[in-house]
Amino acid sequence: MARAGVTKDRVAEEAEQLADEVGLESVTLAAVAGRLGIKLPSLYKHIDSLGGLRATVGERATRELTEVMVRATAGKAGPDAVSALAHALRDWARAHPGRYAATIAAPRVSAGAEPGQVQAAEDAVGLIFDVLAGFGLGGDDAVDATRGLRAVLHGFVALEAAGGFGMPADVDRSFDRLVASYIRSLPAY
């Protein structure tokens, strides 16, 4: 009965949606199969393993996030571009928490990472690098600044997602000020 019409992409899409709903760690193959209307073992006609599916989700999510940031920074430069990239990343991460988590867990280059995954991660970092290029940074300075921005953005988003910030004060404002503060520091790199 080969008629459920399941494809690798549909499996990945369902896994992504589920990850956003219940958390990346709580995605089970049984639940993904159930959503697709097939039984768990049938999934193995489309994936290698749970780990492989997670890696696929990570790569797709990384490409999606990169695309979102590219659009957000199009036609902008300097502080405007950095600010737009920062807010685009946070907005997307809040809308897609499971996908976002997959982008961080993904680039395990140490283990046997697929070329596509590595490329996707490099493209994402490359975009940040390019956006910072307008500040006249070169060599190690640019590397340090890129790492700094990635740290600032991931740290804030991850703590926010983990419920690490108490209710009271305005979290949006805290983010705005952190990003603005980072941008002001760029000429010093």
Binding site for DNA (CB under 7 A): 1-7, 28-31, 37-42, 44-46, 49-51
Cβ nearer to DNA, comparing 46 with 63: 46
Shortest Cβ 67–DNA spacing (Å): 27
Shortest Cβ 173–a copy of itself spacing (Å): 7
Binder of residue 164, out of DNA, a copy of itself, none (CB less than 5 to 8 A by kind): a copy of itself
Shortest Cβ 77–DNA spacing (Å): 45
Contact 84, 144 (CB under 8 A): no
Cβ nearer to a copy of itself, comparing 36 with 146: 146
Q: Give the interface with a copy of itself as residue ranges (CB under 8 A).
A: 25, 104-105, 107-110, 140, 143-144, 147-148, 150-156, 158-159, 162-166, 168-171, 173-174, 177-178, 181-182, 184-185, 188-189
Rounded Cα distance between 95 and 20, Å, is 8
Q: Which residues contact 40 (CB under 8 A, 6 or more apart)?
A: 29, 30, 33
Q: Quick one: DSSP state of residue 189?
A: -
Binder of residue 38, out of a copy of itself, DNA, none (CB less than 5 to 8 A by kind): DNA
Rounded Cα distance between 138 and 129, Å, is 10
Burial of 59 (0-12, 13-18, 19+ CB in 10 A): buried
Cβ nearer to a copy of itself, comparing 29 with 38: 29
User: Which CA distances in Å does 139 have to 79, 136, 154?
Assistant: 20, 10, 23
Shortest Cβ 49–DNA spacing (Å): 4
Q: Which residues contact 121 (CB under 8 A, 6 or more apart)?
A: 62, 106, 107, 109
